[in-house]
Amino acid sequence: MSKHRISFLTVIVAASMVGASMANAANSKEPIQPIAAVKAKNPALAELGKKLFFDPRLSKSGFISCNSCHNLSMGGTDNLKTSIGHNWNQGPINAPTVLNSSMNVAQFWDGRAKDLKAQAGGPIANPGEMASTHELAVNVLQSMPAYVAEFKAVFGSDKVSIDEVTKAIAAFEETLVTPNSRFDKWLKGDKKALNAAETAGYKLFKDSGCVACHNGPAVGGNSFQKMGVVAPYKANSPAEGRSAVTGKDADRFNFKVPTLRNVELTYPYFHDGEAATLTQAVETMGRIQLGKKFSDDENAKIVAFLKTLTGDQPSFKMPILPPSSDKTPRPQPFGK
Ligand code: HEC
Ligand code: HEC
């Protein structure tokens, strides 16, 4: 009897699920889903994180902020092959965008940070990036009464900690999503949002197999894949990818699949920044990931499609940062 009941209920649930998915059929059969707008769960926390993201005093030189390399006026990147940090040190790897980074399975090209909070402490203390220490960064913040008051209002304590700093930065980064791209409008049923070349480019993107790795709302960011599936990728950069984290030889040259959202803005491409243009990146991907040689026309259509993935960029009032106090440790622009 009770067994009967359960299966009857199951049927009802299953039937209503079919109904729901049919209502969504327009986009549920696509391998890419629209990005949903987000509202900060805790606006005061995100606002504090925004200040910290823009504050160069978290660096030893007092000159480099998160925004120096993840410029929110330029798609959340520095548009350099590889980033320049403390002492004009040129790093080994290209800066990925911070836009939509909350959708990543893990952070960094090799995924060595599990989430945005774990990531945010890294650059502050990286000698080649902001070159500070967590202790110095906290002392700098603690020396400014307006910051101390804001941390207290958000966290309830008089003592600033690096844990709070990284929480706030992560909360701000979670707001950096880019909904309303033309492609998302198309996915939601506005068939006029894309022109014929762009629609043909999307079809090529799907039919050629790009979507095997670049899928989901971020069009990537959700798996690690080999760079060079059917033909080797020749790189001069020392980066080994995922094997640096797992120690497994099988993971050598596996990198996090980058999001293709806003890819028009996030040049140059690949972990070593070697592809200067989208045309080049698409040519390389076709050749080494899929064994395909695209005609110039096909390549141009795929590029046209990729440019429809640019969404609404974060838009907000520039944060005004509290002035340093007499006690604030002074910037050390030169030397290790
Ligand atoms: C000197 C340039 C530089 C500065 C300053 C910098 N970053 Fe980065 N950022 C990079 C580079 C380069 C990478 C990629 C490193 C890697 O994958 O090994 C990166 C990676 C990231 C990622 C991972 C994105 C992804 O898709 O994997 C996030 C998030 C991020 N940075 C946020 C920040 C925050 C927050 C700050 C400030 C606290 C900051 N960065 C400061 C250059 C910089
Ligand atoms: C087997 C998985 C896989 C397939 C298939 C694939 N990609 Fe990629 N794609 C990646 C990985 C991994 C990277 C990052 C590689 C690196 O930088 O070392 C990448 C990077 C890119 C980039 C550069 C993004 C950036 O910000 O640096 C573009 C553009 C791109 N792919 C487009 C395509 C297109 C177009 C296709 C189909 C022709 C395609 N990909 C097929 C895995 C794949």
Mean pLDDT in residue range 239-255: 94
pLDDT at 5: 43
198 and 156 in one domain?
Answer: no
* pLDDT band, residue 19 (cuts 50/70/90): very low
CA distance 83 to 129: 8
Q: Which of 129, 130, 177 should be mutated for ligand 1, with most atoms under 8 A from CB? A: 129
Whether 56 has a pLDDT exceeding 70, the answer reads: yes
64 in ligand 1 pocket by Cβ < 6 Å? yes
284 and 189 in one domain?
Answer: yes
116 in ligand 1 pocket by Cβ < 6 Å? yes
Kindly report the protein residue whose alpha carbon is nearest to atom 17 of ligand 2.
270
Lowest mean pLDDT among 16-20, 41-45, 129-133: 16-20
140 and 47 in one domain?
Answer: yes
In-domain check, residue 34: no
What is the DSSP secondary-structure string of 273-320?
Answer: --B-SHHHHHHHHHHHHH-----HHHHHHHHHHHGGG--PPP--PPPP
Domain edge (last residue) among 153, 173, 193:
173
Q: Which amino acid is present at 17?
A: M
pLDDT at 61: 96
Whether 14 has a pLDDT exceeding 90, the answer reads: no
210 and 164 in one domain?
Answer: no
In-domain check, residue 115: yes
| 253 Cα to the center of ligand 2, angstroms | 13
Q: Which has more pLDDT, 51 or 28?
A: 51
190 and 155 in one domain?
Answer: no
In-domain check, residue 25: no
pLDDT tens figures, 217-230: 999 999 999 999 99
* pLDDT band, residue 215 (cuts 50/70/90): very high
Query: Which positions are catalytic?
Result: 129
CA distance 198 to 187: 13
Whether 314 has a pLDDT exceeding 80, the answer reads: yes
Q: How many domains does the chain have?
A: 2
Mean pLDDT in residue range 204-208: 98
Which contacts qualify for 114-123: CB closer than 8 Å, 24 or more apart?
A: 115/170, 116/169, 116/170, 116/173, 116/174, 117/166, 117/167, 117/169, 117/170, 118/166, 119/170, 120/165, 120/166, 120/169, 120/170, 120/173, 121/162, 121/165, 121/166, 123/66, 123/69
Q: Which of 53, 63, 66, 243 should be mutated for ligand 1, with most atoms under 8 A from CB? A: 66
193 and 168 in one domain?
Answer: no
Domain edge (last residue) among 150, 173, 196:
173
224 and 141 in one domain?
Answer: no
User: Which of the ligands is closest to the CA of residue 60?
Assistant: 1
Domain edge (last residue) among 173, 203, 233:
173
CATH number at 260 reads: 1.10.760.10
Q: Measured from the CA of 235, which atom of ligand 2 is nearest?
A: 18
Whether 132 has a pLDDT exceeding 90, the answer reads: yes
Query: Of 155, 177, 165, which Cα lies nearest the Cα of 51?
Result: 165
CA distance 302 to 274: 19
* pLDDT band, residue 28 (cuts 50/70/90): low
- Domain encompassing residue 218: 184-309
Mean pLDDT in residue range 263-292: 98
157 and 240 in one domain?
Answer: no
169 and 49 in one domain?
Answer: yes
149 and 200 in one domain?
Answer: no
CA distance 174 to 115: 11
195 and 266 in one domain?
Answer: yes
pLDDT at 27: 54
Helices 196-207, 296-306: axis angle to 10 degrees equals 100
In-domain check, residue 333: no
pLDDT tens figures, 109-130: 999 999 999 999 999 999 999 9
269 and 210 in one domain?
Answer: yes
How far is the CA of 271 from the CAs of 9, 60, 69, 93, 221, in angstroms? 50, 26, 15, 6, 13
Mean pLDDT in residue range 48-66: 98
In-domain check, residue 5: no
Query: Of 115, 110, 121, 109, which Cα lies nearest the Cα of 66?
Result: 121
How many percent of the chain have pLDDT more than 90? 89
